Amino acid sequence: MIGENSKMTARGLVLALLANVMLLLPTAQALEVDPVAEAKRLEAGFARLCGVWEWTVHSHTRGHREAKTKIVLPSPQMAGVDGPSPSEIRVYGDAVYLRWDFQGGYQEDSMLLSDDRRLEGTFRTSDGSKGAVDGKRLSKCQPVGPGGASGSEGKP
Q: Please, are residues 109 and 98 in contact by the beta-carbon 8 Å criterion?
A: yes
> Per-residue pLDDT for 94 more than 80?
yes
**What digits encode the pLDDT tens for the residues 55-89?**
999 988 878 889 999 999 998 888 788 888 899 99
What percentage of the chain carries pLDDT values higher than 70? Answer: 73
**What digits encode the pLDDT tens for the residues 11-45?**
776 666 666 655 666 666 667 778 898 899 999 99
> Per-residue pLDDT for 1 more than 80?
no
Structural element, H or E, at residue 78 = helix 76-79
Q: In sequence order, what are the beta bridge partners of 85? A: none
What are the structural domains, with CATH classification, of the chain?
35-155 (2.40.128.120)
Alpha-carbon 62 to chain mean position: 25
Burial of 22 (0-12, 13-18, 19+ CB in 10 A): exposed
Burial of 122 (0-12, 13-18, 19+ CB in 10 A): middle
Q: What is this structure's pTM?
A: 0.69
> Mean pLDDT, the chain, as a whole number?
82
Q: Please, are residues 58 and 66 in contact by the beta-carbon 8 Å criterion?
A: yes
> Per-residue pLDDT for 130 more than 90?
yes
- Min mean pLDDT across 47-51, 75-79, 138-142 is at 75-79
pLDDT score for 155 = 55
pLDDT score for 154 = 54
Residues 6+ apart with CB under 8 A from 142: 148, 151, 154, 155, 156
**What's the rounded Cα separation, in Å, for the pair 144 and 38?**
24
Neighbours of 48 (CB within 10 A): 19
